[in-house]
Every structure is written in C-alpha cells, then in structure tokens.
Structure 1
Amino acid sequence: MINTEVKHQTRESATLTKNAILVIGGAEDKVHGKEILQTFFNRSKSSDAIIGIVPCASREPSLIGERYHRIFSDMGAKEIKVLDVRDRSGANDSAYLDFVENCTGIFLTGGDQLRLCGLLADTILMNRIIERAQKREMSLAGTSAGAAVMGHHMISGGSSAESPNRALVDMAIGLGIIPEVLVDQHFYNRNRLARLLSAVSGHPELLGIGIDEDTCAMFESDGIMEVIGKGTVTIVNARNMTYSNAKEAKGNEPLSMHNLKLHILGYGDRYDLEQNQPYG
C-alpha cells in the first residue's frame, strides 16, 4: 500500500519542476535569496538546465547578458548561452537555432520592449521559442520589458499619476506568448494602475495584469497563475464591463468604466484563467 504522504510529496515535487512561463515585474532580487530566478532555474531542470539568455531589449546586451550568465552559472546550470542578436538577420544564426531546440529555459531580460520586438518579432528564432514555451517543452521567463511583450497587445510606454485616459498609454503589438493578457510591470512602484486601466479600456477582452517589482506571475500549463516574490499582482477584468466611454473619449479626457473586477494577489495566491477566479 502506497503511503499517501509520499504520494503527495511526489506530486508536489513534480509541480516544482514542471515547465512554466514566468512573467516578472522587473528589479527581481539578484543578490540575496533570488527566489524568482531560482524558481526559473528549478523549472528549467535545475542542474540539468540548458538556459538561453536573450538580452536584446537592453542597450548594453553584453553587460546584462553576462550578469544573468553569472547568476545561472553560480546556481549550477549545465549549459548557458547568451543569444546576443544585434539585428534581425542575427535571428537566423544556426548556432542559436540549434541551441533553442535543446534548451530547457529561455530568459528575456529587461530594457526596451519596442527594441526587443523590433529585433525578434516574427523571426524564426523567436517563433520557435514561443512555440516550445506554449507547448511547455521548456520554461520561459521575461522581466520588465521581457514581461511587457508577453501579450499580443503590449503597453509600449506612457505616463502615470493621472486619471485614466487614452493619452496616458502607448500601445503596440507584443510577441503573443500569452495572447489573452495585457501586462504592465514595475506596477505599484511606478503608480501604473491608471495606465493599465487606460490600456484595458481599449481591449476589454484581455485580462490586465500589473506586476510589482521583485514579483512574478507564474503561468502553469493547467491554466493557473501563481504569485511569487515580495510584492503583489493586480488583476483587472473588464470582460463583463457594462459601460465605457472609451470610444468617445479623446486625448486626455477622463475615461469611465463601469463594473470592473479588480483583484490584488499576494504571495502564494492563485488565479484560474479559465474561470476568471482568484483563490488562496
């Protein structure tokens, strides 16, 4: 007879090592406990990890690529490669393409999300990364700009500390890794609720997700998102919104949005993406 405690531990161990998509609000701890980066490392098969670092969003890709290379090397990764694409033709590099076929984890660094998409959107390299991540054949993480690109629609810039209005947010097309979400990062730290609301007003079918610094929204293959890190994840659900003046409002005229659902999720809280329901 199998001990039920052992069975539970086995299931828990499998959960801790299965592939996931980690969306990080930026400024994740790189020095002390490194919980978020350690979780990505574990989900990328730990000591058997073959990790690709994509620093294309940064204006100093060599510097930031080396920093993450050192972090994952210190954790004990089996193999690490910095995929330092400087122009779109670089995304056809056969060495990079071969590496992506075998890697267990890809990490998208911070920087400028428009730069990242400009270099890699619709390239053979990025399309293969997205395909493998969506099939959960490997883990994928993105921090700051690397988080912003996760949805099909992307917040590319804007302001804060104003009432929600259409002029507050700049939109662009993201990478579509998790198409149904609209991500904003450095969320509480830069007072970006009004910006996210402004973005969601134009795309009420999408789930707005605001992620604080050193905080991660981790998307599992079963449609569950879990929060890890020191901050919170804010969920804005406008799918049952009963009224909005978004189509009529111009420029910086204030937006009206009725019957939104707003959830604040802390460490360990989860959100069911199919049922649109949070739980602890």
Structure 2
Amino acid sequence: MAIKGILIPIGGNEDKGKNDSEKHTLEFIDEGILYHIKQQAGGQHANIVVIPTASSIPEEVGINYLAAFSTLGCENVTVLDIRKREDSEQQNAIDLITAANCIMFSGGDQSKITNKIGGTAIHHIMMERLQNEDDFVIAGTSAGAMAMTNEMIAGGRAVDAFTKGAVTMYKGLGFLEELIIDTHFIQRGRFGRVTGAIAKFPHLLGFGLAEDTGMIIKNGQCVVIGSGMVIVFDGNQITHNKEDILDIGTPMTIANLTVHVLSNGDVFDIKHRAVSVLPLEADFI
C-alpha cells in the first residue's frame, strides 16, 4: 500500500517528561520522541487522539499521555478508550479519527489492537487518510508500533525464538507492508525473535527498536529519533534458510543476513534498502 502520511513507530518506554530536573525537562520539550510527534502532527494546536487499547490499564495510560503532551504545550489531546470491537464502529470514535491530525497507539498487547480495531470503521478511515493525506500522523509505541505492520509479531520467547515455530505471527493493521517491527529490542534480547520472523518472510525488512527510540517514516524514508539504536535486518541476500521445510521445534540457521545498526539522525531508505549516516558534525535530532 502506497502511503502519503507519516508513521512513527517507537520501541517502547519513551520519555514522558516525568524527571524533575530542569535539564531533563528542557531536553524532553525540545528533543524527545513525543516532541517529534507533536511537530509532525502540526504543533501545539494539533488534534491528537491517544488510543490505549493495547494496555491492561488504559485509564492510567491515557492520563500519562495527557500529562506528557500537556507538558509539551499541546492543547487538543483526547483519549479514545476502545474496550471492545463495537466501540470502533461508534460515531464518536469515527468523528475523532476523522478530525485527528495524529493517532497515538499505546503499548501493551498488540493482538488487542488488531482484534478490536482491525477491519473496523476507524481502521478503514486511518488507512484511507494515510493513503491520501501527507500531514496525517499515526504513532505507536511498543505494541502500538508492532501492530502497524502487515505481518506482525504476536509473541515468542527471546531465549528460544530461533527455532522453527517459536515466533508467533499474526496479521497487523497493514500500514507498513514492507516491514516487521519488534520493540524493547535491546533491553529484552529479541535478536532471535526478529531473525525468526525474517526467516519466515525473507522478502521483508525487520526493524528492532530499542526503548526510547523510534523512526519517522515518510515517503519510504526512515529517520531515527530518540536515545537508542534501531537494528535493521535485511534478508534479501540470504544464502541459507530452510525455514519452510524444517519441522516445528527444529533449530534454524541463516547465512548472509545483512544487519545495520542505526542511531539518532540516520536514515534508511526502504525501497533501495540503503543507509545514510548522519555526519559527525551534524546536530542530533
């Protein structure tokens, strides 16, 4: 699906401005991931709709995001608390998604997002707006980032995720057809999980996002934001991969998998599978 809009997947645990130090507060306001979301959405007057559907504590999560965006000076932030699939068909939800400049999906369980929102009225509106509006933003952290893809990682333990069948895949919201995204990537040791997903879908790109790290994706260009790393897995040149013929539970091997390690300001071109590295003398984003 060709999109004109902007997608911002985040690796989870992004800074929400809760540290009391003045230096930290200034960095959050001028450099943090939520600051970038605000700017991409149009600034302090943008209509931002937070959807905490993935969370087991949606009320608390909604309050946290209202406070964080308020610290950034945002004036029009609403929480759309979808608890069941029928809520995604209600007129108030349709009106909010239609008027929003930015949708922000919280973390939690990505399957809750796809089960309660995938294929509903508000999902169709999001898809249509992404295809046609170059200033429409969808951001998502942790589960909210993972649900953006078509082939979505639904589960899999990191310690044994490079055996056949250890990674569970599910259909996501389909905003990003070329990618598979995993989050909390460094902190939870998910190298094997993404590699297992790429073994299953070698034509796709795997992105492992560290915490407090994200990407601004527009026109096929991915710009890294935040304090950590993005690990890109490119299986296009794999020379050994027997995932399709091995039995469930069998250890797997992949040869010639290309891996890129990117940091703040670096750019990855999805179409050409190419990296542009931020010059050393440049300012961080």
Query: How big is the shift at 1:63?
Result: 1.2
Q: In structure 2, how many angstroms separate the alpha carbons of the residues matched to 1:218 and 1:230?
A: 14
Equivalent position SS for 2:165: helix
Q: In structure 2, how many angstroms separate the alpha carbons of the residues matched to 1:107 and 1:118?
A: 17
Q: In structure 1, how many angstroms separate the alpha carbons of the residues matched to 2:125 and 2:226?
A: 29
- Aligned pairs for 1:1-280 within 5 A: 20-31=6-17, 32=24, 33-34=27-28, 35-135=32-132, 136-162=134-160, 164-220=162-218, 222-280=219-277
- Report the aligned-residue RMSD: 1.6
Q: Does structure 1 retain, via aligned residues, the 8 Å contact 2:107–2:141?
A: yes
Query: How big is the shift at 1:94?
Result: 1.1
Equivalent position SS for 1:262: strand
Match of 1:12 in 2: none
Equivalent position SS for 1:128: helix
Deviations 1:157-210 (A, max 9, x none): 111134722232111111111111000100011110111001110111111110
What TM-score do you get using the length of structure 1 for normalisation? Answer: 0.89
Match of 2:281 in 1: none
- Number of residue pairs the alignment of both structures matches: 262
Between Structure 1 and Structure 2, the one with more helix by share is: 1
Q: Which runs of 5+ in 2 are unaligned?
A: 18-23, 278-285
Q: In structure 2, how many angstroms separate the alpha carbons of the residues matched to 1:64 and 1:108?
A: 10
Q: Which runs of 5+ in 1 are unaligned?
A: 1-17
Q: Does structure 2 retain, via aligned residues, the 8 Å contact 1:163–1:254?
A: no
Deviations 1:224-259 (A, max 9, x none): 101111111111111232221111222332212222
Where does structure 1 differ by over 6 angstroms across 4 or more consecutive aligned residues?
A: none
Query: How big is the shift at 1:19?
Result: 5.9
Q: Does structure 2 retain, via aligned residues, the 8 Å contact 1:19–1:43?
A: no
Q: In structure 2, how many angstroms separate the alpha carbons of the residues matched to 1:248 and 1:119?
A: 34
How many percent identity over aligned positions?
32
